[in-house]
Structure formats: structure tokens, C-alpha cells
Amino acid sequence: MIDKLTTKIQYIMESHQATRGGLSLERLLYGLSKVYETGIQFRNSLYKTGILKSRELPCFVISIGNISTGGTGKTPMTIYLSKYLTALDYKVAVVTRGYKGNLEHKGGVVSNGNKILCSPKEAGDEPYMMAQILKLPVIVGKKKFESGMTAIKKFSPDIIVLDDAFQHLALKRNLNLLLINAKKMPGNRYLIPRGTLREPVSSIHRSDATIVTHSDRNQNTVFEKTDIGSQDIPLFKCNHIPYISIISLKEKDTPQSNLLNDIKGKRTLLFSGIANNSDFKTSCDKMGLKVHRHIEFPDHHRYTQYDIDRIMRAFKQSKADYIITTAKDYIKISDDLPLGCPLVVLNVRIEFDDNNKIAFELFIKNKLQKYFGGSQGPD
């Protein structure tokens, strides 16, 4: 019953057609979205007029965010940008909420840059994954100013990268990057729960630059011209490139870089619990993988032994050769799968084409040079 209702609500959120007359779930969600929109606009106006104050950190702050629910690639972009800034010799720390992690409300240090200090359950799946990949300080907490000050006191960064902070107006930022999923934005233009928007499309004007992700999946430029181009802000495009990061066989995990040819055409079972499970399957299809079944879980799902047993049961019944999951899911189940389980882990990375890469990096450098007194890197 709950699954059917969830499926129906999801369908309505993505639907462009409105129900006419009478009482319906769609009309109820529409009413709730108008209430939500009123609250968002009122909150934003309080910050705009200075009634509510934004606090400032004593370093350069970059926010990466979106105005829609999930699936725009905030985590891969945070990783990409943090690596780029580090390559420019800046000291970087990442601050993120740690959604559904045990440290979300009280805050804490996930990694000091050399060592991961807590579990995925404490950190949240995405912060833990970033800590593994980046080897940089990663701090979590719902109150981003306090988390930022923790980063300042403990690690003295030149730059703090805020993951998922476009709506967090309580903290000032020097650079506001807004991600837009080319495949899904602007959707039906309704706010949640009738649509998928967290803010009205007009909020784009708060960004310093917009980055269209998954740009290879939608060549339509109508949205760019009507909603972005008119805002007179820079626009960049990038793609999400899937790659095999780990294969778990026998008694240990081994990074793999050339496994794709070995598993193409083999029978596979997928499972995932991310914002856009369908995108994960699409990526597998594009890589030439033969998908027999896909078991889907909600975003940020905490796996139980029942879930693990269900996955293994389906694997045996399907007579698949491999189980394939995402890096975000893997960190939560790596210790729970049976030894010898043929598990392949897919991750994604951000990739700009040559023109967009040059333009984006120049844009970032110019912003940093103005803040740091015109030098190429930090003093």
C-alpha cells in the first residue's frame, strides 16, 4: 500500500498534466506545494531585506547546490572541484550536511585528510565516500557555519567547498554554483511535493554560474535560452562518466580499470538506493552491460540483513554472473556481503569537454585571483 502510494506521488511529481476539478491526490499535492512556495519566498525575502542575517567565514567559500530534488550530481562536482582547487595548491576542506548520518545534527569531523575518523553510518554515505576519494578534511553538520568554523580551527583551509548549500542562506558564500540536470530540469515547474523543485526557477538569479550536468542526455537548448541565458550568468556544460572503481572477489576488494570488457554481455543483477535509480540502470545499459534485474531502494537507504538476503536470493535465482551497485551503496554494505560475492562497483566522475573545461577553470581562477589579491595561488 505504501509502495503504491509512493509510486503514485512520484508519478504526479514528474507529471506535466494537472487534474481538473474535484478532489484528487494531485490537487492536494498542488495545494501543499503552494504553501511550501509561499514559505520559501517569505524566508528568502527575510534574508534579502536583512531581517535575517547571513554569517561569514574567514576564508573563500564555494557553494555547490541545486534547486531541484536530487540527481544533479552535487557529490561528483564537489569531488571534481575540490581536486581542481587542490591541484592549484589551495588548502581545501569540504563541509556537507551528512544527511541521515548520526552526526548530522551535532556535527563532526569525518576525515582529517589523512585518516577517516568515523563510519558511514555516523558520517552519512556521501560524506564518507568523499572522504575516501579526496583525502581532504571533510566535516559534516546541519549547521554549516559551525561546521565551517570547525574546519577553520582544525585545518586552516584557504577554501571551503559547501556541498548542497544553495538554499542555506544563513551562510555567506563567495561563489555560488548551481547545478541543473539537463534531463530533468525544469520539470513541470511545480515545487515539492507537486513537483521536484526546491525553489522557484527564478532563484537561478542567485547563482554566479550554472552548470548543466548530464548534458549529453538532452540536446534541447530551449530551457537554457528562456531560464538561464536571460539571467546574464555564465553557463557551463558537463557530463557524468561512469567507471568501474572496485570489484569484490574472494577475500578482498581490488580496484579495476579494465574489467568492463570482461563483464560486457554477462548476466548482471543491479541494486541501488540513490536519487535517480533509473539513471544508474541507463548508465549500465550504455556501458553494454546485460541487465537481468534491477532492485531499487530509496535514496540514502540503510541496508538491513533482510535487504542483503533479498539481494543474494535474487542473484542466485537470476543465475547472474555479477552483482553491480553504486559506490554510494557499496560503502554501506561492503562488510555484509558474503565472501566471494562477485560484486562490481560503479562510480561516476564529472567530465567537461575541452571548451567548457577551459572556460570553467578560467572562471574559477579569476574569482580566486580577485579574492587572493591577484596571485595564481594562495600566499
Instruction: Please provide the average confidence, as pLDDT, over all residues in the chain.
Output: 88
Looking at residues 289-307, what average pLDDT do you find?
Answer: 92
Q: What is the pLDDT of residue 20?
A: 57
In a domain, 156, yes or no: yes
Residue 258 lies in a domain: yes
For 77, the domain range is 60-238+352-371
Quick one: pLDDT band at residue 21, thresholds 50, 70, 90?
low
Pairing of strands 322-326, 239-249: unpaired
Residues 211 and 95 both lie in one domain: yes
Residues 98, 205 share a domain: yes
Residue 265: pLDDT band with limits 50, 70, 90: confident
Q: What's the CATH number where 259 sits?
A: 3.40.50.1970
Same domain, 213 and 223: yes
Q: State whether 225 and 325 are in the same domain.
A: no
Q: Show contacts of 313-320: CB within 8 Å, 24+ apart.
A: 314/269, 315/269, 318/267, 318/269, 318/292, 318/293, 319/267, 320/266, 320/267, 320/268, 320/269, 320/292, 320/293
Structure confidence at residue 341 as a pLDDT band (50, 70, 90): confident
Task: Identify whether 169 is part of a domain.
Answer: yes
CA gap 348, 327 in Å, rounded:
9
In the chain, the number of structural domains is 2
pLDDT surpassing 90 at residue 307 = yes
Tell me, yes or no, whether 269 and 168 share the same domain: no
By percentage, how much of the chain surpasses pLDDT 70? 88
Q: Report whether pLDDT(313) > 90.
A: yes
pLDDT bucket at 250, cuts 50 / 70 / 90: very low
| pTM of the entire predicted model | 0.90
d(CA 316, CA 310): 10
Is residue 333 in a domain?
A: yes
How much is the pLDDT for 225? 47
Give tens-digit pLDDT for 175-217. 999 999 887 766 788 999 999 999 999 899 999 999 999 887 6
Full 3-state SS string of the chain: CHHHHHHHHHHHHHCCCCCCCCCCHHHHHHHHHHHHHHHHHHHHHHHHCCCCCCECCCCEEEEEECCECCCCCHHHHHHHHHHHHHHCCCCEEEEECCCCCCCCCCCEEEEECCCECCCHHHHCHHHHHHHHHHCCEEEECCCHHHHHHHHHHHHCCCEEEEECCCCCCCECCCEEEEEEECCCCCCCCCECCCCCECCCHHHHHHCCEEEEECHHHCCCCHHHHHHHHHHCCCEEECEEEEEEEEEEECCEEECCCCCHHHHCCCEEEEEECCCCHHHHHHHHHHCCCEEEEEEECCCCCCCCHHHHHHHHHHHHHHCCCEEEEEHHHHHHHCCCCCCCCCEEEEEEEEECCHHHHHHHHHHHHHHHHHHCCCCCCCC
Q: What is the reported pLDDT for 56?
A: 97
Q: Give the pLDDT score at 120.
A: 92
343, 337 Cβ separation under 8 angstroms: yes
Let me know if residue 303 belongs to a domain: yes
Q: Are residues 189 and 291 in the same domain?
A: no
In a domain, 103, yes or no: yes
Q: What confidence category does residue 4 fall into, taking pLDDT thresholds of 50, 70 and 90?
A: confident
* 159 and 170 co-located in one domain: yes
Q: pLDDT above 90 covers what percent of the chain?
A: 66
Work out the widest C-alpha separation in the chain, in whole angstroms. 65
CATH of the domain at 106: 3.40.50.300
Higher pLDDT, 378 or 323: 323
- pLDDT at residue 275 greater than cutoff 50: yes
pLDDT of residue 37: 95
Phi first, then psi, for residue 375 (nearest 5°) are: -80, 160
Question: Cα separations (Å) of 20 from 13, 24, 163, 189, 371?
Answer: 16, 9, 40, 18, 53
Please check whether residues 72 and 200 belong to one and the same domain.
Answer: yes
Are 100 and 186 within one domain? yes
Lowest mean pLDDT among 56-60, 188-192, 335-339: 335-339
Per-residue pLDDT tens for 132-185? 999 999 999 999 999 999 999 999 999 999 999 999 999 999 999 999 988 776
Pair (180, 82) in one structural domain: yes
Assess whether pLDDT exceeds 50 at residue 316: yes
Ranked by mean pLDDT, which of 25-29, 58-62, 216-220, 340-344 comes out on top?
58-62
Report d(CA 112, CA 114) in Å as an integer. Answer: 6
Residue 174 lies in a domain: yes
Q: Are residues 215 and 234 in the same domain?
A: yes
Residue 16 lies in a domain: no
Instruction: Note whether 342 and 367 are same-domain residues.
Output: no
Sheet order of strands, 322-326 included: 252-254, 239-249, 343-351, 322-326, 267-272, 290-296
